[in-house]
C-alpha cells in the first residue's frame, strides 16, 4: 500500500515532465534555426550569386576524402595553379600523412625532389640549392608579394594553404569559380585585362580561365574535363585547408555516442534519485 502511494507520487517527477526539459528543446530549436540561417549565408559568394553545389565525399558527418580524387587534385594544382599560387603551409610530408592523398613515402620523396630549395648557410657562410625533401614546404612561384603582383598585372594570387576556409562557400566556391568563366553579357563594362566570371564578386577577375579540357593528363580513366578538374582541385584544396577533417569526423562520432549514452544514464539515475522527493 505504502509503496504504491510512493510510486504514484513519483510520477510527476521533474525528470519525466516535458515542460521541465523545454529549455533544452527551446535552446536546440533556436540553435537549429540559427544554424539554418548561418548555413544559408555562405551559400552565396561576395557577388550575391547562388553558388553551384557539388556532392562532396567529405561533407557528411562520416565524410572522408576520396584518395584518388585528392591525388588528381594535387596533379591539377601542381601543373596548373602552382604557376601562380603558393601553398606555404603545406609540406611535401603532408601528402603522405593519414587522411590525405596518402602517397607512399617513396612517392613523396620523388615528388619533393622535383624541386629545389635554398638552404644554408653552409660552413663557408654561403647559401646553396638542394633538392627538396618531404619536410620542406611546397615551392612558391614568387619570392614575395611584390614579385607576385609585378608578374600578374598588379593582382596578388592568394596563397592556397587555407583558401577553402578563407572563402565563404568553401569547396563549392572554388568549384563554381573555376567553372564560372563565361563570355561577358552583351554591353557589360569590362575593364582591360580582366576576365568575366559569373561567381566572382563584381564579375571581373584578374585570373584568366586556367582550366581547359585535357590540359592535365589523368591516368586512371577519369574524364579530363574542366568540370572534373575543378571538382578534383577543390577537393584537394579542402584537404589542404583542413588536413585533420577525417580524424575530426571520426572522433566526433565517438564523442556524440558517448554523450548520448551518458545523458541517458544521467536521466534514469536522476529519475530514481528524485523519486524520493515527490
Partner 1 sequence: MSHEITYTPSNAFTRWLDERLPIMGLAHHMLEYPTPRNLNYWWTFGGILTFCLLTQIVTGIILVMHYTPHVDLAFNSVEHIMRDVNYGWLIRYVHANGASMFFLAVYIHMFRGLYYGSYKAPREVLWILGVIIYLLMMAAAFMGYVLPWGQMSFWGATVITNLFGAIPLVGDAIREWLWGGFAVGNPTLQRFFSLHYLIPFIILGVVVLHIWALHVPGNNNPLGISVKDEQDTVSFHPYMTVKDALGLTVFLLLFAYFVFYNPNVLGHADNYIEADPLQTPPHIVPEWYLLPFYAILRAITFDIGPIDSKLGGVIAMFGSIAILFVLPWLDTSKVRSARFRPLFRQFFFLFVVVCLGLGWAGGQSPDRTIFTSSEVIGTYESAGEADAAIAEAVSQTDATADMFKKHDVIEDGVYGVEVERVDYAFDVASLSLVLTILYFAYFLILLPLLGLIEKTKPLPESISKAVLAEKDA
Partner 2 sequence: MAHIDTDEPTRRDFLYVATGAFAAVGGAAAIWPLIDQMNPDASALALASIEVDLSSIEVGQSITVQWRGKPVFVRRRTAAEVEEAKSVPVETLPDPIARNDNLSGDVPATDANRAAEGKEEWLVMVGICTHLGCVPKGQKVGDAKGDFGGWFCPCHGSHYDTAGRIRKGPAPQNLEVPVYSFLSDDRIKIG
> Which residues of this protein are in contact with partner 2, per CB under 8 A?
3, 6, 91, 93, 97, 122-123, 130, 133-135, 258-259, 261-262, 265-266, 268-269, 272-273, 276
Taking CB under 8 A as the criterion, the residue among 7, 166, 215, 223 binding partner 1 is 166
Distance CA 210, CA 222 (A): 19
Q: Judged by CB, which is closer to partner 1: 12, or 121?
A: 12
Name which of partner 1, partner 2, none residue 188 binds, using a CB cut-off of 5 to 8 Å depending on partner kind: partner 1
Burial of 90 (0-12, 13-18, 19+ CB in 10 A): buried
Phi (first) and psi of residue 256, to 5 degrees: -65, -45
Burial of 220 (0-12, 13-18, 19+ CB in 10 A): exposed
**Residue 60 CB contacts under 8 Å (≥ 6 apart), including other chains:** none
C-alpha distances in angstroms, 79 versus 65, 150, 267?
Answer: 21, 22, 57
Q: Judged by CB, which is closer to partner 2: 42, or 134?
A: 134
What is the pattern of x (binds partner 1, CB under 8 A) and - over residues 218-257?
A: -----------------------x-xx--xxx-xxx-xx-
130 interacts with partner 1 by CB under 8 A? no
Angle formed by the axes of helices 226-241 and 67-79, nearest 10° = 100
C-alpha distances in angstroms, 165 versus 42, 171, 234, 237?
Answer: 11, 9, 12, 9
Minimum gap (Å) between residue 269 Cβ and partner 2:
5
Give the ranges where 59-128 is alpha helix by DSSP (H). Answer: 67-79, 105-113
Question: How would DSSP label each residue in 35-56?
Answer: HHHHHHSTTB-TT--BPP----
Taking CB under 8 A as the criterion, the residue among 9, 83, 150, 215 binding partner 1 is 9
**35-64: contacts with partner 1 (CB under 8 A):** 35, 38-39, 42, 46, 61
What is the pattern of x (binds partner 1, CB under 8 A) and - over residues 66-105?
A: -----------------------x----x-----------
Minimum gap (Å) between residue 80 Cβ and partner 1:
22
Q: Judged by CB, which is closer to partner 1: 119, or 159?
A: 159
- The grid coordinates listed for 80 are 596548373
The binding site for partner 1 (CB under 8 A) comprises 9, 12, 14, 20-24, 27-28, 31, 35, 38-39, 42, 46, 61, 89, 94, 158, 161-162, 165-168, 183-189, 201, 241, 243-244, 247-249, 251-253, 255-256, 259-260, 262-263, 266-267, 269-270, 273-274, 277-278
Amino acid at each position: 500500500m505504502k509503496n504504491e502511494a510512493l510510486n504514484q507520487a513519483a510520477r510527476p517527477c521533474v525528470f519525466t515532465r516535458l515542460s521541465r526539459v523545454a529549455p533544452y528543446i527551446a535552446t536546440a530549436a533556436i540553435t537549429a534555426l540559427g544554424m539554418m540561417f548561418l548555413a544559408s549565408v555562405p551559400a552565396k559568394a561576395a557577388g550575391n550569386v547562388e553558388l553551384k553545389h557539388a556532392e562532396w565525399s567529405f561533407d557528411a558527418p562520416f565524410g572522408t576524402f576520396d584518395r584518388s580524387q585528392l591525388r588528381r587534385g594535387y596533379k591539377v594544382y601542381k601543373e596548373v595553379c602552382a604557376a601562380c599560387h603558393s601553398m606555404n603551409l603545406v609540406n611535401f610530408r603532408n601528402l603522405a600523412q593519414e587522411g590525405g592523398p596518402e602517397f607512399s613515402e617513396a612517392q613523396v620523396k620523388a615528388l619533393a625532389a622535383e624541386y629545389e630549395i635554398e638552404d644554408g648557410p653552409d660552413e663557408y657562410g654561403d647559401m646553396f640549392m638542394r633538392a627538396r625533401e618531404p619536410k620542406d614546404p611546397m615551392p612558391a612561384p614568387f619570392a614575395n608579394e611584390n614579385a607576385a603582383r609585378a608578374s600578374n598585372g598588379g593582382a596578388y594570387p592568394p596563397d592556397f594553404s587555407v583558401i577553402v576556409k578563407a572563402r565563404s562557400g568553401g569547396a563549392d566556391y572554388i568549384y563554381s569559380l573555376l567553372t564560372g568563366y563565361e563570355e561577358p553579357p552583351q554591353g557589360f563594362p569590362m575593364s582591360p585585362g580582366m576576365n568575366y566570371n559569373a561567381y566572382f564578386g563584381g564579375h571581373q577577375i584578374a585570373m584568366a580561365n586556367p582550366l581547359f579540357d585535357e590540359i592535365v593528363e589523368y591516368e586512371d580513366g577519369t574524364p579530363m574535363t574542366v568540370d572534373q578538374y575543378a571538382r578534383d582541385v577543390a577537393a584537394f584544396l579542402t584537404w589542404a585547408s583542413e588536413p585533420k577533417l577525417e580524424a575530426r569526423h571520426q572522433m566526433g562520432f565517438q564523442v556524440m555516442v558517448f554523450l548520448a549514452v551518458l545523458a541517458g544514464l544521467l536521466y534514469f539515475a536522476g529519475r530514481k534519485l528524485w523519486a524520493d522527493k515527490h
